[in-house]
Amino acid sequence: MRIYVAGGGGMLGDAVYHALRSRHDLAIGDVVDRDDWVHHCDVRDFSDYRHHVDAFAPDILIHLAAHTDLEYCETAVDDAYRTNTLGVEHAATIADMHAVPLVYISTAGIFDGRKDSYDDWDEPNPLSVYGRSKFLGERHVQRCVPRHFIFRAGWMMGGGLAKDKKFIGKLVRQLIAGERRLHVVDDKLGTPTYTVDFARNIERMIGTRYYGLYNQVCGGETSRLEVARELVRLLGLDTTVEVVPVGSDHYAAEYPAPRPASERLVNYKLALRGMNHMRDWRVCLAEYVREQFADVIAPLRVPARQCVHAA
Ligand SMILES: NC(=O)c1ccc[n+]([C@@H]2O[C@H](COP(=O)([O-])OP(=O)(O)OC[C@H]3O[C@@H](n4cnc5c(N)ncnc54)[C@H](OP(=O)(O)O)[C@@H]3O)[C@@H](O)[C@H]2O)c1
């Protein structure tokens, strides 16, 4: 297949590129062109977006572009809607002009968190600008693009230090900076989502005609606290690093955007279709740590006194 990927320079785009490149012809655009396989394409600019898709003439359009920083979206509201919602409307029009299916990635952050977990048919009720901007994208795609796939992700992890801007990346950066006490919220529930599994399942699904909206997260429900403890254990730092539970109010100044208490998703529709190939989050986290962080973390396992002597 010829696949155009918009916003493919980020953490999920990295996994999509590596999972699909051997079997498909890819063209990948993003506002950030830090990799040589990414060209500049801004989805806010309809002409620019259309120009790149026209030139490539894909069989399918995968739209990953978004502002994913909740605090940024809460303050730069116009840019959040321009990017996360109008950008998707552009994608829908361009997919229609090319008569190709559209893949859009949504988020567990469209729910209000009052329920413990959400299946594909639960009613969204976003709390934040980011959540609303993504939900409006979902709604537009559902209404305007007959052949669409919408995949809802949870707490994304992947891409290593270069691209993981989210929870795992932030914790590993703190550890590398010398932090030995990680303050982690104990009141947020969710489902991690490994970009590698997510990209592989996109490939499986776009090979079918099972169009529609799907929750697509790793197996196993968990919490930020449990994920942090598992990360520290997998890194071999459980005797030297303390994970300190705190309430979300601890981070009220740093992370003021509203976040649901629970963002747990269940891949109910994928399971019903026999297409749920997402592995358990612990298995994925172990693989992620092994493949991306083993080398950078190894020096941190050396006891402090030895480090001083070596220096
Ligand atoms: N990360 C998560 O936890 C998460 C969870 C659920 C769903 N999602 C969804 O998954 C998709 C992929 O996100 P990701 O996790 O890979 O995040 P990401 O690493 O931030 O990737 C998104 C990419 O889109 C780029 N972008 C921003 N504005 C753009 C524009 N106007 N035109 C073209 N590209 C633009 C970003 O550039 P900058 O880095 O310069 O902004 C970034 O490279 C998004 O739709 C996101 O909403 C993510």
At 253-300, the pLDDT tens digits run: 999 999 999 999 999 999 999 999 999 999 999 999 999 998 887 777
Mind listing the pLDDT tens digit for each residue in 166-214? Answer: 999 999 999 999 999 999 999 999 999 999 999 999 999 999 999 999 9
Q: What is the pLDDT of residue 309?
A: 36
Render pLDDT for 29-76 as a digit per residue (tens, 0 to 9): 999 878 999 999 999 999 999 999 999 999 999 999 999 999 999 999
Asked if pLDDT for residue 96 goes beyond 60, the answer is yes
Q: Ligand 1 pocket: which of 28, 30, 165 to mutate (most atoms <8 Å of CB)?
A: 30
Cα–Cα nearest to 84, from 102, 56, 58, 63: 63
Atom of ligand 1 nearest to the CA of 69: 20
Q: Which two tokens stand for residue 197?
A: 């599994």
What mean pLDDT comes out for the span 62-91? 98
Q: Give residue 303's pLDDT.
A: 59
Segment 110-127 shows an average pLDDT of: 98
User: Does residue 164 have a pLDDT over 90?
Assistant: yes
The pocket around ligand 1, CB under 6 angstroms, is made up of 6-7, 9-13, 30-32, 42-44, 64-68, 83, 87, 105, 107, 134, 153, 155-156, 163, 165-166
Closest atom of ligand 1 to 9 CA is 43
Q: At what angle do helices 195-206 and 11-20 cross, to 10 degrees?
A: 50
What pLDDT shows up at residue 308? 37
Site of tokens 């490994």: 194
Which atom belonging to ligand 1 lies closest to the Cα atom of 44?
A: 31
311 has a pLDDT exceeding 80? no
pLDDT score for 297: 79
Integer Cα distance of 187 and 207 in angstroms = 39
Q: Distance, CA 36 to ligand 1 centroid (Å)?
A: 18
| Structural domains present in the chain | 2-164+192-220+264-279 (3.40.50.720)
Nearest residue to 32 (alpha-carbon basis) of 77, 68, 57, 60: 68
Q: What is the pLDDT of residue 301?
A: 74
From the CA of 108, give the closest atom in ligand 1. 6
Centre of ligand 1 from the C-alpha of residue 31, in Å:
10
Share of the chain above pLDDT 90, in %: 93
pLDDT score, position 295: 84
Residue 221, both tokens: 């429900």
